Chain A
Amino acid sequence: MSLLRIRNLSVDFATASGKFRAVDGVDQDVNTGEILAIVGESGSGKSVSMLAMMGLLPWTATVTADEMSFDGHDLLTIGKRERRRVVGKDLAMIFQEPMSSLNPCFTVGWQIKETLRVHLGLSRKACHARAVELFEQVGIPDPERRLSAFPHQMSGGMNQRVMIAMAIACKPKLLIADEPTTALDVTIQAQILDLLTSLRDDNGMGLVLITHDMGVVAETAERVSVQYAGQKIEEQPVLPLFQSPHHPYTAALLDALPERATEKHLPTIPGMVPGQFDRPAGCLFSPRCKFANSKCKAEQPAPQGPELGHARCFYPLNTDERIAS
């Protein structure tokens, strides 16, 4: 059985202008020691689905699912107190903006020791020793001194390392990294990704990498799940996905990579992700899809089988027949 198992997860937000469905029937599995990347544009519901699983959404959100379990805990029925014992310990998360995700009023040492004290009940001395050890593990130089620094006294990259150290403090079984490198510059990005993969190798934890950067996906992930407008539209291991994407959206995303561009102008996907009021009746991608026909615009496609990457499309690309024709 997989470490994390989600079936038919939907999240609705109550807004002033009615309900907005941010996540729509998403399935997700993560195994121990595996790196899953969830990719998609802004607003495709990739963070929201993971926040829903952690129980971190604001009260305006309604979460429904057929199944949502982590490491033997049923996250749908779990009590608040019970959830707090799992979240932050076995199930940890790091966020996009390291600068604003750390509390400006407390030293980073205080913030990491708090996790250790609350979850593991370590003594003052043990907390300190473990905090130093963690800082060393995530590559923060001079950890003894850094422990008493405030977030604003350190760089974004260092702060993200602190966030990571905090997240792995209790040796979690699953780490969710929500766009961990978006706010950092390119050289630091590579360092942070290397750090995450090496931590996965050392601790044997599962890693969910939420990103919109295909480069990050190619470099780090083992399995990729593509989300669009709240739906999971395709899922494949990383190599086949890059070689033969089945959903036209995935194909268009890959075409838009500068590294792959062959023409003078970078290909783009016309239009925007549908919002609350312009959700199409049929396939959600149909207004922007160059292959869409009247059927696509009228009916919602069901996911295809695993051989076609569960693609939510009536006419998946790179099938054998298409290659033949």
Chain B
Amino acid sequence: MLNYVLSRLLTFVPTFFGVTLISFAFIRVLPGDPIIVMAGERGVSQERYDQLAAQFGFDRPMYVQFWDYFTGVLQGDLGNSFVTKKPVWDEFFTLFPATLELSLCAMVLAIVLGLPAGVIAAVNRGKFFDRALMSTALVGYSMPIFWWALLLIIVFSGNLGWTPVSGRIDLLYYFPDPTGFMLIDSLASGQKGAFWSAIRHLILPTIVLGTIPLAVIARQTRSAMLEVLGEDYVRTARAKGMSPARINSIHALRNALIPVITVIGLSVGTLLAGAILTETIFSWPGIGKWMVDSIFRRDYPVVQGGLLLIAVMVMIVNLTVDMLYGLINPKIRKR
């Protein structure tokens, strides 16, 4: 197992280098100049421009800039934001809990609803529930996130007034945030109504962000279950006189989980991409919104550093998923 983890970590090296290079190049390929953006409407004199360019190192050849950046990254230095002058690393980890909280809730929603829905659809293949569920899943999967989010806001926040429009918590609550997770901090603060307010703020973003993974998980679970239900060992379980509920939820689901786990792992990437839109729409103070704002400001260190950290998160999740395979599928464990 240790060897396996080490060999997987080794494959991270080229990926890591590639991601660093791409994120570095990506923001520089975009039109726009950070110095001009910083100068704002009044503009900047050529003299001052050259001075700033020299200060940020833009006057040196691109490969030297990259080498500087890359060696910095290897030493854990992602540079400072052009705008706030704070280290990118610190900003990322201040905001990351908000994104993590939202993503976790969305993932839990997707799994808790998607798995059973897929199983029930597979068991009732071709019947009304199956067809209804699969068409709904297809709609959910193809729905543009921003449109879906606006629709929910109009109905539930606008017309019905059930949920807040944006933010993580009502402004009348204020408390320290040692963990950065609003649900935990609001509960720990002991303020009346704070926890409930945090939950109400989470509902719509969670639904919006969880919709696509939910649809994907439901469909994947269904097709995996259908395949597994035709296997010989399911017939054996029936020949043993086991109840359909037991066969579906234990004998078949355990085997069907293997491809589903893959999809869940891959969804994490989609989730982080979706978080960027969702956070922007709901003014959720997470890394998604932070990244979007930084792109508009041409804040090079933040964009390249943020992208790199997100990529590393995805790589770690994928490694975790590979470890999970072993837990679920004994054939992989023993190899």
Contact = CB atoms under 8 A, between A and B. Distances in A.
**B is bound to A:** yes
B232 interface: yes
Contacts of B242: 84, 88, 114, 118
A118 B233 contact: no
A101 B330 contact: no
Interface in A69-86: 83-86
B235 A95 contact: yes
A21 interface: no
A261 interface: no
Interface residues of B, number: 21
A100 interface: yes
A284 interface: no
Contact of B241 (A88, A95, A100, A150): A88
Interface in B294-335: 328-331, 334
A22 B233 CA distance: 23
A100 B239 contact: no
A93 B330 CA distance: 26
A interface bracket (residues with beta carbon within 8 Å of B): 20 to 34
A86 B239 contact: no
A156 B85 CA distance: 67
Nearest to A150: B330
Nearest to A90: B241
A138 interface: no
A152 B241 contact: no
A100 B232 contact: yes
A105 B239 contact: no
A118 B255 CA distance: 21
Of B241, B243, B329, chain A has the most CB atoms within 10 Å of the CB of B241
A153 B332 CA distance: 12
Contact of B240 (A106, A150, A166): A166
Interface string B51-74: 000000000000000000000000
B45 to A, nearest CB: 71
A103 B241 contact: no
A103 B255 contact: yes
A100 B187 CA distance: 51
B240 A115 contact: yes
A101 B329 contact: no
A97 B255 CA distance: 18
B241 A86 contact: yes
B233 A104 contact: yes
A239 to B, nearest CB: 32
A89 B242 CA distance: 11
Interface in B236-271: 236-243, 246, 251, 254-255
B330 to A, nearest CB: 5
A103 B331 contact: no
Given A104-B255, A104-B331, A105-B255, A118 B238 contact: no
B330 A87 contact: no
B293 interface: no
Nearest to A89: B241
B90 interface: no
Interface string A149-164: 0101100000000010
Q: Determine chain B's interface SS by DSSP, over half rule.
A: helix
Contact of B239 (A56, A103, A118): A56
B233 A85 contact: no
B237 to A, nearest CB: 7
Given A150-B330, A150-B331, A153-B334, A102 B241 contact: no
Nearest to A83: B241
B330 A118 contact: no
A114 B233 CA distance: 14
Interface in B147-202: none
Contacts of B331: 104, 150, 152
Contacts of B334: 150, 153
B231 interface: yes
Given A100-B232, A105-B328, A106-B254, A92 B237 contact: no
Given A103-B251, A104-B329, A106-B254, A84 B241 contact: yes
A89 B233 CA distance: 17
Interface string A133-177: 000000000000000001011000000000100100000000000
A163 B330 CA distance: 19
A139 B183 CA distance: 58
B127 to A, nearest CB: 11
B254 A56 contact: no
Contacts of A102: 233, 236
A119 interface: yes
Most buried by B among A85, A92, A106, A153: A106
A93 B235 CA distance: 10
Contacts of B232: 95, 97, 100-101
A205 interface: no
A86 B240 CA distance: 9
B236 A101 contact: yes
Nearest to B237: A103
A224 interface: no
Contacts of B239: 54, 56, 87-88, 92-93, 95
A103 B241 CA distance: 15
B122 to A, nearest CB: 13
A247 B188 CA distance: 85
15 contacts: A54-B239, A87-B238, A87-B239, A93-B239, A100-B232, A100-B233, A102-B233, A103-B233, A104-B329, A105-B255, A105-B330, A115-B241, A118-B246, A150-B331, A166-B236
Given A84-B243, A93-B239, A101-B235, 11 more contacts: A56-B235, A56-B238, A87-B241, A95-B239, A103-B233, A103-B254, A104-B329, A104-B330, A118-B241, A152-B331, A166-B240
Please provide the 4 A-B residue pairs with the shortest distance between their CB atoms, ordered closest to farther.
A88-B241, A88-B240, A100-B232, A103-B233
Interface of B: 231-233, 235-243, 246, 251, 254-255, 328-331, 334
